[in-house]
Structure 1
Amino acid sequence: MSQQPASAQNTNPAAAFDLECRNINKDFDGFKAVNNVSFNVPTGTFFSILGPSGCGKTTLLRMVAGFQTPSSGDLLIKGKSMIGVPPNKRPVSMVFQHLALFPMMDIAANVGFGLRQRGVPREDIAKRVETVLERVGLPGVGSRHISQLSGGQKQRVAIARCMVLEPDVLLLDEPLGALDLKLREHMKIELKKLQSEFGTTFVYITHDQSEALVMSDQIAVMNHGEFEQVGAARELYHEPKTAFVAGFVGEANSFTAKVDSINGDAATLVSDDGLNIKGHDASGNLQQGDKAKVYVRPESIRLATSADQLDNVENLNQGIIENILFNGANSHILLREEKSGGELNVAIPQTGQFRDLTRGDKVYIGWEAAQTRCYKES
């Protein structure tokens, strides 16, 4: 496992944090689901925890909500420790993956449920419910039945039901997981807009990197109960600090290789299938003879029909096109590198210059050493 990154701790004493987790651990019969995690969430930000199934992100969110108790460590909201505070006494609300709307109630009753539980007067509930429904783009629908809503509208009702309680932190447990692809893409934008409009701190967990990259101000990448890296989307994508982050965030061609020579942060490597690679030592500790993981983004690889079209590239090879995957702006070419026989995924630039390529064509490929991330294999 990787060590806890320094970036997971915000050391700015003047910063205002809605949520602070300090050395949080959670053990289940000897299994460490969350391992010494520390992070801060500044007020009014969209903070996502991204990781594969079983990495501990749901357990961490449930501890913030109060549904589970940390084995050790402290958890603060607005500077106050929440250890021992029951869920209904915490200034948080939670949107669940399956929304948990009440089918026997109309929309207004669903949204006002928490207010009724708190004993808010009926006339105040009606005003607050209508106001929050307007803010989520559903004015005048309070009397409608839940079954009359689309999937996206149900998402908004679930958010309205939380936001009407005016929480300091809104927790979202993979709320888009049950939606179809087109609606999910739409709701990513809608959620970001809603968070900006309300100004409420969102803590969002997901295994979908696209959701995290599109919506988040800050993302924590989680693996085996630990945070591998915390940063903005661009930082995680372009400057991954660990091999796991490089492979998990975005698409990447990966190689296992041996370091032939090292000069500062410039590495020369030979992959297991014999491909010569020049790359950047992203781990900062590579030595000659080390085994390494190497990652190259599909969009970092340039494609040409002749070698002289590829200047200023340290990695120049030939390949044979095996397949063309048309997906609009995200189209790719799968090709077989001629010398090593290894497969590479290359993003096609949307200029139209490669529209005549077909399977079996021989092409040249090249990429810069600076765009080749190398990490010591653990």
Structure 2
Amino acid sequence: MSQPPDLECRALSKRYDDFFAVKEVDFEVPSGSFFSILGPSGCGKTTLLRMIAGFQMPSSGDLLIKGRSMLDVPPNRRPVSMVFQHLALFPMMSIGDNVGFGLRQRGVNKPDIRRQVERVLERVGLGGVASRPVDSLSGGQKQRVAIARCMVLEPSVLLLDEPLGALDLKLREHMKIELKRLQSEFNTTFVYITHDQSEALVMSDQIAVMNKGRFEQVGAARDLYYQPATAFVAGFVGEANRYTARVEAANGGLLHLVTSQGVSLRGIDAGDGLAVGDHADVFVRPETVRLSRKEEDLAEFGNAGGGRVESVLFNGANSQLILRDAAQGGEISVALPQTGAFRDLGKGEMVYFGWEPDQTRCYRKAGG
């Protein structure tokens, strides 16, 4: 008989009068996986996490951990621990006392607490520092103490509420890798909420993109990025050029569209069954657009045009060009190739661009 998932939500909802903070959310988190809930502020992800922790009760639906419903289980009896955004470490306590706090609450004897605290501190790379004051640590070390304090309790599920939000950029980038390493080290199920897509894409085995209390799509990072199921996911995950267009012809999923500026495009139906006359939201990733100084080089592309350089946004390997499209007058963002062939482009210079139809994803426009 197969083991139940570590966490399962069935039509879980949280309602405040006529407003649904979370509405009929269904998902499973397999044992030992890193599951992220990604969405903008106010989408319901913190409410969902608090229901899993037991701090809020759902209005309807069910929530199971290892096959057992948690609806009648208080927070302190659920097999979960939680890392908060601001960590909530006790500044007057030593590192060891912080990590062992939950064990003391459970009545574990002092020798066992000392042994378990040392063991978990070793696993997070902080061996031998139990007696030091917690305020002597760096931001990244405090993150590891907060995780150690949870992991010493051996939870079935570790909940993480935007724990990297207060860190500076360099430390946040380091801790993304460190968190993934720790999750693999402990082989514990992590449920992580964030509004930062980079955090979710780098660390997660599965990601749920949440919007207005619902899950828009659940999948691996590559699926969400390259095959977004909805216009919201296409616009929220990664960068994209966006157009509004009308379908002029449809043939086996291949579409001919005309934008609101009168520019002809060719793209693919992302699954909405678009037909002639429908209005669509159209997305093109900057890195799928090719550049040339010669217009004829891009003649075979399904979509092509020319524009003048508005600005160069230098960001190392992620540098971009902003072009003013000569045909439509609007801007188009293009990832700057790392070959060096275009690094000398200056403002006002003319350059040609093009991309294939299968890189143009089209979704039915809401209300269209």
The question of 1:327 aligning with 2:315 is answered yes
Write out aligned runs for 1:221-240 (5 A).
Answer: 221-240=209-228
CA distance in 2, matches of 1:283, 1:243: 11
CA distance in 2, matches of 1:284, 1:377: 10
**1:308 positional shift:** 2.8
Which whole-Å deviations, capped at 9, do the CAs of 1:244-299 have from their partners, x for residues lacking one?
A: 00000000000111111111111111111122110010033111111110000000
CA distance in 1, matches of 2:262, 2:131: 67
1:178 is matched by which residue type in structure 2? A
Which whole-Å deviations, capped at 9, do the CAs of 1:13-58 have from their partners, x for residues lacking one?
A: 9464100000001001221011100000000000000000000000
CA distance in 1, matches of 2:279, 2:3: 41
Of the candidates 210, 226, 231, which is equivalent to residue 243 of structure 1?
231
Residue matched to 1:346: 334
CA distance in 1, matches of 2:337, 2:117: 48
Runs of at least 5 residues in structure 2 that lack an aligned partner in the other structure: none
Do the aligned partners of 2:4 and 2:67 also contact (CA within 8 Å) in 1? Answer: no
SS at match of 2:268: strand
SS at match of 1:219: strand
1:258 is matched by which residue type in structure 2? R
Residue matched to 1:293: 281
CA distance in 2, matches of 1:28, 1:376: 31
The question of 1:205 aligning with 2:193 is answered yes
**1:310 positional shift:** 2.5
The question of 1:51 aligning with 2:39 is answered yes
**1:312 positional shift:** 4.0
CA distance in 1, matches of 2:137, 2:7: 33
Q: What TM-score do you get using the length of structure 2 for normalisation?
A: 0.98
The question of 1:141 aligning with 2:129 is answered yes
2:88 is matched by which residue type in structure 1? A
**1:141 positional shift:** 0.8
Which whole-Å deviations, capped at 9, do the CAs of 1:68-122 have from their partners, x for residues lacking one?
A: 0000100000000000210000000000000000011010000000000000110
CA distance in 1, matches of 2:288, 2:198: 19
2:99 is matched by which residue type in structure 1? V
What's the C-alpha RMSD, in Å, of the aligned pairs?
1.0
Of the candidates 98, 106, 116, which is equivalent to residue 110 of structure 1?
98
CA distance in 2, matches of 1:312, 1:198: 52
CA distance in 2, matches of 1:297, 1:268: 18
Residue matched to 2:162: 174
Question: What fraction of aligned residue pairs are identical, expressed as a percent?
Answer: 69
2:347 is matched by which residue type in structure 1? R
CA distance in 2, matches of 1:311, 1:20: 51
**1:234 positional shift:** 0.2
CA distance in 1, matches of 2:289, 2:326: 15
Do the aligned partners of 2:269 and 2:361 also contact (CA within 8 Å) in 1? Answer: yes
Do the aligned partners of 1:265 and 1:284 also contact (CA within 8 Å) in 2? Answer: no
CA distance in 1, matches of 2:329, 2:3: 52
Do the aligned partners of 1:283 and 1:376 also contact (CA within 8 Å) in 2? Answer: no
SS at match of 1:178: coil
Do the aligned partners of 2:85 and 2:163 also contact (CA within 8 Å) in 1? Answer: yes
Write out aligned runs for 1:1-378 (5 A).
Answer: 14=2, 16-310=4-298, 312-378=300-366
CA distance in 2, matches of 1:226, 1:28: 15
SS at match of 1:128: helix
Do the aligned partners of 1:15 and 1:42 also contact (CA within 8 Å) in 2? Answer: no
- The total of aligned residue pairs comes to 366
**1:356 positional shift:** 1.6
